[in-house]
Amino acid sequence: MFQNSRLKMKPEFMIVPMIDIIFFLLVFFMMNSIETVAQKSLGVQLPQAQSATQVKQSPIILTLDKEGHILIDSKPYSIDEARNYITSKIGENPNTAVLLQADKNTQHGFVVAIMDMLKTIGVKKFSIAAS
């Protein structure tokens, strides 16, 4: 009496797109391994330095919250204290980078004031963090 008129379709397994993805991954990893092997195969022996010092160049992370409070390495600073701190770090190493992490709800004026302060200090490497 009641007959199911719908055709029962079996799900199909699409293998062609998966092969494409596997091929792209294979090429990606092959290209990365070629670069690594080429660097190792040069066989350059670096000379030993008598007065070797390892320079750690981590950027100064300057955080600006939505109220305009300044944090450098998770410690609160006023704008003058931040200026003095960054000036001393730039004096030690002129190539020190500064990374500004500003809250998305921070007023534009606070960000501009920080950028202006960094420019007057003489920061050469400056970047703004975004997600």
At 45, which helix (H) or strand (E)?
A: none
pTM above 0.75, yes or no: no
Rounded-to-5 percentages of helix, strand, coil across the chain? 40, 15, 45
Query: What b/e readout covers 48-70, taking b as 16+ CB neighbours within 10 angstroms?
Result: eeeeeeeeeeeebebbbeeebeb
Class of domain 60-128 (CATH, top level): alpha beta
Angle made by CA atoms 83, 84, 90, in degrees to the nearest 5: 85
Whole-number Å distance between alpha carbons of 41 and 121 = 44
42 in Cβ contact with 34 (< 8 Å): no
d(C-alpha 116, C-alpha 112), whole Å: 6
Cα distance between residue 73 and residue 96, in whole Å: 14
pLDDT tens readout for residues 29-70: 888 777 655 445 444 455 566 665 555 678 888 888 888 889
pLDDT per residue over 112-123, tens digit each? 999 999 999 989
Which one is predicted more confidently, 12 or 84?
84
Q: How high is the pLDDT of residue 61?
A: 87
Average pLDDT of the chain, as a whole number:
80
**pLDDT attached to residue 35:** 62
Q: Is a pLDDT exceeding 50 seen at residue 107?
A: yes
Q: How confident is the model at residue 84 (pLDDT cuts 50, 70, 90)?
A: very high
